[in-house]
Amino acid sequence: MSAMVEIDNAMKTYEGGFEALKGVTLSIREGEILALLGPNGAGKTTLISCICGISQPSGGAIRVGGHDVVSDYREARSLVGLVPQEVNLEPFEKVWNTVRFSRGLFGKPRDDAHIEALLKRLSLWDKRDNQIKELSGGMKRRVLIAKALAHDPRVLFLDEPTAGVDVELRRDMWRIVEDMRADGVTIILTTHYIEEAEAIADRIGVISKGELLLVEEKSALMARMGRKELRIELQAPLDAIPESLSDYDLALADEGRALVYSYDTAAERTGIARLIAALAEKGIVLRDVSTRQSSLEEIFVGLVHDGEDAA
Ligand SMILES: Nc1ncnc2c1ncn2[C@@H]1O[C@H](COP(=O)(O)OP(=O)(O)OP(=O)(O)O)[C@@H](O)[C@H]1O
């Protein structure tokens, strides 16, 4: 798959000298779903704004579909749909006009059938003649999505799409994301909900203090997260791990008083029963056992924390 969005050492320094992006490099493949995670103020919105041409990067280059977002702004922008974090709709405008007008803004010919299909898909058809101010918060969010999709973008940005929305809308959103993905649209979303990223993304990126700390396939991250540790406290300390146990992923801890066995929770067999039997055979007496699993959340907190230490 080719790159749809190419971010090459993007930097953003706001007036007053604050460095919100400190050289981000990232290539996003056509048709993939990338979730950007990071604490408040990490630079996620700034990065999205730079890609969408709302804000100009202070350094580096960003291309969408091969078009530079600064020198070839119109071409690049017409490929992009943005669902912003904040509702920015004209309160007195009707739903139908709001969405139709948005398509026109990108120079696309009028296509009422497309707008009708979009409004129906987003359960907004009954509200098409309502003014924006007459809608609930959730419905306004649906209008934002309809607006973002009105001109058939090839890249869709969702900035905190499910912050404060109800379960039904959240489910609808993910259905829409799945539909868009089936159409080959590239999707980039920011979220604070790790389980959401887990459910929907192909790849996960972590941003902290303007730097990209990690970008990894979700499956690889899950494999990492799927590891669990069995800690075996021993009656008598060991000097070394016995040769006959070298097949196991074992480490000595607590000056030989404990053995730590790492295993894959997703594997069909964890090897725990075999290990315990092997220990008994060696005459190693157990005092206690406990397990712990590193969660995805822990991985992120650790990453963000390490990033802070290095700063
Ligand atoms: N127009 C601006 N002028 C000056 N500083 C800004 C401006 N916009 C954002 N910032 C600062 O840049 C940093 C990154 O902000 P940004 O909105 O990109 O973060 P974010 O990762 O999207 O955070 P959140 O999760 O809270 O939405 C923050 O410290 C913010 O205060």
Question: Which atom of ligand 1 approaches the CA of 49 most closely?
Answer: 18
Residues 11, 144: one domain?
yes
| pLDDT tens-digit readout, 262-275 | 887 767 788 899 99
CA of 302 to the centre of ligand 1 (A): 22
Question: Which atom of ligand 1 approaches the CA of 210 most closely?
Answer: 14
**Residue whose CA lies nearest to ligand 1 atom number 19:** 41
- Look up the domain containing 245 and give its range: 227-293
CA of 14 to the centre of ligand 1 (A): 9
Residues 232, 117: one domain?
no
pLDDT at 251: 93
Residues 172, 255: one domain?
no
Residues 33, 155: one domain?
yes
Q: If we measure between CA atoms, which residue out of 85, 78, 91 comes closest to residue 44?
A: 85
Structure tokens at 11: 């930097």
Domain for residue 270, yes or no? yes
| pLDDT tens-digit readout, 191-249 | 877 778 888 899 999 898 999 988 999 888 777 666 788 999 999 999 999 998 988 99
Tell me which long-range contacts 12-20 makes (C-beta under 8 A, separation of at least 24).
Answer: 12/43, 12/46, 12/47, 12/50, 12/55, 12/57, 12/58, 12/210, 13/58, 19/210, 20/46, 20/210
CA of 214 to the centre of ligand 1 (A): 20
Domain for residue 91, yes or no? yes
CA of 47 to the centre of ligand 1 (A): 10
The CATH number of the domain holding residue 252 is 3.30.70
Residue type at 202 in one-letter notation: D
| pLDDT tens-digit readout, 61-117 | 999 999 999 999 999 999 999 998 888 899 999 999 999 999 988 888 999 999 999
